[in-house]
Structure 1
Amino acid sequence: MKFIILDRDGVINQDSEQFIKSPEEWKPIPGSLEAIARLNQWGWRVVLASNQSGVGRGLFGMDTLNAIHEKMVKSLAQVGGRLDAIFFCPHAADSTCDCRKPKPGLLRQISERFNVELAGVPVVGDSLRDLQAAVAVGARPYLVLTGKGERTREDPELPPDTLIYPDLEAVVAELTARAQP
């Protein structure tokens, strides 16, 4: 089974220092939705793993988060794409939960739910915590330079085996090119 885990903000959609707090603020990065559709067409299972501390901070509620995700899912469907699941951590940064990246709990939940070993599985993110969570479960860290990616690339703690791409579209082009005979 071909399996990939994506972060949301900064990978699929534009990021904001003030959080994405409404469906109106959710805007896809050009080419990202089509890239997910391409993965689907190539038989990949695509799962979202996202920290959503805005819920824990009281910036928006679960109804708003669901509305944002609904907009994303509908936008994906319009280009022939889909997500197999959406996993998120709603806790604030000071929480002691194990699901807030860089802790690996969210990725372990995905592994259990899909009964898949994460060794070597691509995990695509724009922040150091996405990549650290990937490394913690033996997955393969992919950094995109969208969102916070440019800053993350300069971080001295960047995992040494991180693959770096301009955006999700470039990651998908590489993954699907490898699969071609």
Structure 2
Amino acid sequence: MNRAVFLDRDGVINEVLTNRVKFVNKPKDFYFLPGVPEAIEKLNRSFDYIFVVTNQGGVGLGFMKETQLIKIHEHMIKELKKFGAIIHDVAFCPHKPKEGCECRKPGSKMIMELGERYDVDLSKSYMVGDTDTDIIAGKKAGTKTVFLGRNDPLADAIFQDLSSAADWMIADAGIQ
């Protein structure tokens, strides 16, 4: 079976609620956080798959259309390739917050479906996020969890950025 890293998008891969950008509703609003392309490229060398799993309630709330969201993800994937970094698949929940769907994190449906589709051993995989909903989703799916930020009592590990987290996941997984 394969090993994977599941990444939340906003606040893990790209800026959100910063001086430069409030929300990412167009490709031009998409800015990588420092060191992210290099961290993903490093993870590519050690894990079979890198996925993005993201709640995108802006679609359900009418701030953007699903086609716009897909263009943002295509832009992200294209820009990452310039660094030799690959995202193998992107799963997103387009529903409004509190709509009660099964796919929205803290639900684990997006992780579970990607795991099944790509024959991933979730117990040897990682979910990286910057909110408790990301960590809860990873726990429900059976992955190890990494929180980016100050503190999350449920997370298996806590780091300030994806670069530091990548080094830890590679070491923790025992991958050379």
Name the counterpart of 1:162. 156
Q: Which residue of 1 aligns with 2:169?
A: 175
- Which of the residues 41, 65, 70 maps onto 1:66? 70
Q: What's the CA shift for 1:120? A: 4.0
TM-score normalised per structure 1: 0.87
What is the number of equivalent residue pairs in this alignment?
170
| Partner Cα separation in structure 2 for residue 134 and residue 62 of structure 1 | 25
Matched, 1:2 2:3: yes
1:12 to 2:13 alignment: yes
Residue 29 in structure 1 maps to residue 23 in structure 2: no
1:162 shift after superposition: 2.6
After superposition, the Cα gap between the structure-2 partners of 1:93 and 1:133, relative to the gap in structure 1 and judged at 3 Å, is same
Alignment identity in percent?
33
Task: Output the amino acid matched with 2:146.
Answer: Y
2:144 is the counterpart of 1:117: no
Deviations 1:113-161 (A, max 9, x none): 112231242100000100001111211110012xxxx4xx2x6xx31x5
Unaligned runs of 5+ in 2: none
Contact 2:3/2:124 (<8 A) preserved = no
Q: What whole-Å deviation, never above 9, does each CA across 1:53-102 have from its counterpart, x for those lacking one?
A: 10010000112111211211111000001111101110001212100000
Query: TM-score when scaled to structure 2?
Result: 0.89
1:39 to 2:40 alignment: no
| Alpha-carbon distance in structure 2 between the residues aligned to 1:125 and 1:169 | 13
2:159 maps to a residue whose letter is Y
User: Once superposed, what is the RMSD of the aligned Cα atoms?
Assistant: 1.7
SS at match of 1:119: helix
Cα distance in 2 for partners of 1:6, 1:33 equals 13
Q: What is aligned with 2:106?
A: 102
Partner SS for 2:50: strand
Contact 2:3 2:121 in 1 (8 A): no
Amino acid at match of 1:10: G
- Letter matched to residue 179 of structure 1: I
Deviation, structure 1 residue 39: 1.4
Could you tell me how far apart the structure 1 residues matched to 2:170 and 2:97 are? 35
* 1:10, distance to aligned residue in structure 2 (A): 0.4
Could you tell me which of 139, 143, 162 is aligned with 1:139?
A: 143
